[in-house]
Each structure stands twice: as C-alpha cells, then as structure tokens.
Amino acid sequence: MAKKKLILKLQNAGVKPTAHRLQVMDVLESFEWALSLKQLSSSTQMDRITLYRTLRTLETHGLIHLARETTHDKFYALCKDHCGTTGHKHAHVHFECLSCHSVRCVESSVITEQSLPGLKVAEWNVQASGWCPDCVQPEAASV
Ligand SMILES: [Zn+2]
Ligand SMILES: [Zn+2]
Ligand SMILES: [Zn+2]
C-alpha cells in the first residue's frame, strides 16, 4: 500500500502516524499471512518494547488483531475496515499450519450471526489447524 494511503488509514483510526506505526503496518500489509512477533521484530528491526507498544496502539484502534497465540509466539494480522476503537468485529477463522506453522485469517461463510441462535456475538475467535496449500501432501505421496 502506498505510504500516503497508510498515513490516511492511521489518521482515520485516530492514530498519529509515527514512523514505527507506519513501519509495522507496512510489513503486515506486504504479507498475506499473519506475522509472529519474531518475524515482526526481525523485519522492522525494532526493540521489543517499542514493538509491543506499537502493536498495542494499533490493536486498540482496530487496525490489527492478535490472530493466534502459541506457546512460543504471538501472531498479528491486519483488520478489515469494520474494526475500530469500539471493538474488533471479526467473522473469520484463524488457521495454523501444523507443518510450517504459518498463521492466516480465513473468511468463512459458516460463521454468521445465526450460527449461535439467540445469542449476539461481538467477536468470533475460531481456531483451526491443518496443512496449508504449500505443505499439504499430494495423496499419491502419502501411500
Ligand atoms: Zn479487528
Ligand atoms: Zn504450511
Ligand atoms: Zn484474523
């Protein structure tokens, strides 16, 4: 995404577009998957405290979310437009590949407000695991 557009995105969310915040958003934008703290700190070259603080600000303003927390790491992903300071509104699955341990957000039509009759859902946090397209074994190979 162009830098100008990113600056605007942050401003619209009520976040001052500092260099660190822009950097984190830029890295997350350029990947199709969620990124772990480890990946984020090596791509941004930020120290841990600055990185945590930056992620926290972006998270409370509905720009990014914690996609998955494993015993070793935390994975962050960008939010879509419907998140904001009033809360995160996600209706997608967080999928973790058991082989390469990549984490991604997957939209699913199975998740709707009607999925839980009589209950009003504010946020879904559905976890799934399996094998991503890069790691799935062709059936012939497993025989
Ligand atoms: Zn969100
Ligand atoms: Zn994989
Ligand atoms: Zn997600």
Give the burial string for 16-48 (b: 16+ CB within 10 Å, else e): ebeebbbbbbebbeeeebbbbbebbbebbebee
For 90, 95, 118, 125, 142, the CA distances from 115, given in Å and listed in that order, are 14, 19, 9, 13, 36
Residue 48 backbone dihedrals phi, psi, to 5 degrees: -55, -45
Closest listed ligand to the CA of 96: 2
Q: How many residues does the chain have?
A: 143
Residue 131 backbone dihedrals phi, psi, to 5 degrees: -125, 135
Q: What is the pTM of this model?
A: 0.86
Ligand 2 centroid to residue 37 C-alpha, Å? 18
Ligand 3 centroid to residue 92 C-alpha, Å? 6
CA 119/CA 43 separation, integer angstroms: 41
Largest CA distance in the chain: 56
Ligand 3 centroid to residue 124 C-alpha, Å? 10
Confidence (pLDDT) at 143: 47
Confidence (pLDDT) at 140: 52
Kind of pairing, strands 92-97 and 103-107? antiparallel
Residues with C-beta atoms within 5 A of ion ligand 3: 67, 77, 105
Closest listed ligand to the CA of 33: 3
Per-residue pLDDT tens digits of the chain, which is 143 residues long: 688 999 999 999 999 999 999 999 999 999 889 999 999 999 999 999 999 999 999 999 999 999 999 888 999 999 987 788 888 888 889 999 999 999 999 988 777 767 788 888 777 788 999 999 999 876 655 54
Domains delineated in the chain: 3-142 (1.10.10.10)
- H/E segment holding residue 5: helix 3-12
